[in-house]
Amino acid sequence: MGGSQASRARVARRIATAAAYGGGGLGLLGVGLAGLLLTESRLAVRAIGLLEGDPPRADGVYGEAFADPADRRAPLVLAFLGDSTAAGLGVQRAQETPGALLAAGLASVAERRVRLVNVARSGARSSDLARQVEAVLPARPEVAVVMIGANDVTRHAPAARSVRELGEAVGRLVSAGCRVVVGTCPDLGTIKPVRPPLRWVARRVSRQLAAAQTIAVVEAGGRTVSLGSLLGPEFAARPELFAADRYHPSAQGYATAAMALLPSLCAVLELWPQDVPAAGAAAEPQAVLPMAMAAAAAAGRSGTEVSAAGPENGTWRWATLKQRFRLALPGSEEAGAAVPAEGPEPRAGASANSHPEADDAGATKR
């Protein structure tokens, strides 16, 4: 394991441990940086600007065209919780939001209607998840997607408390019979208006939080997908993937992020093929690592899924990292084609060295 990943693993385990035992004050930054970062963050906010209005509402039933007319089952309920990324801030049409994209994608794979219930709100932090869980439970969701973390970083919420709040929310959903996939904190060091040294610190802090989130989510019974620097250099080279504020994704950006989440969403519902690939077909690369090492590797490797591999003394100590092949969304130019995960992939049985650090490229934003 590389030095930065080993360090991130140690910090992630400390944060997760503090969260488990009720700690709320464990921070990620040295006090000496506070004044400088406060000034830098104010300048970044001015440079980024604000998007006006609310994201379009996308709640409803998707996939009538994919469902068997003889299927009398009620629609599968997909819940969306989290912040402005989960809500879809930055797009103009409901069908461009990540919730609608994933509802349509899930319906196409399941060949069943899917009802989307989205309670995500712009500006939400992990502390808002308890209210969102309360709001969504009456709908009895069978699967939920949570996208949270960026506002915890930008508003300097104590990391251990944020991780504990996320873990508790996942635990409540799982206890209610809902399967959960969490898109972890994006790499905020990739936002172009954010300048060094804030960019370097933002990258470190957001990756550490993402790693700690992974530990808490997997131990609560969910699985995670790293949103990190999703798309790598593609975001930096293609400004159309950003919305007007150069911070949130555009419709194309959300579609690419949804493509990374869809395979894990299908897998958690046992809709993803688990059999041995046909002759000549590549298997989805995976590795089994100790939990903290897996979480750290995923935080630096966009699109990586982390799920539990097995308990030790009643606690989940091992995790499976998997780079799933991405499915194109219904209606896209690549519909029906499998899109490989970006960059080099881990080999079965590989160590964390199979997950090199992501480069200084663009990311899916809050």
The Cα-based distances of 255 to 91, 104, 223, 266, 308 in angstroms read 11, 12, 21, 16, 27
Token look-up 């555009």 returns 250
> What is the distance between the alpha carbons of residues 10 and 211, in angstroms, rounded to a whole number?
10
- Residue 187 annotated to the active site: no
48 conformational bin, left if phi > 0, alpha if psi -120 to 50, beta if neither: alpha
- Residue 84 annotated to the active site: yes
Active-site annotation holder among 108, 128, 206, 248: 248
The Cα-based distances of 247 to 18, 44, 117, 244, 293 in angstroms read 31, 11, 25, 8, 30
CB 209 within 8 A of CB 19: no
Give the N- to C-terminal CA distance of the chain in Å, as an integer: 29
- Residue 245 annotated to the active site: yes
Active-site annotation holder among 59, 127, 245, 360: 245
> What is the distance between the alpha carbons of residues 93 and 87, in angstroms, rounded to a whole number?
12
> What is the distance between the alpha carbons of residues 145 and 84, in angstroms, rounded to a whole number?
13
- List active site positions: 84, 245, 248
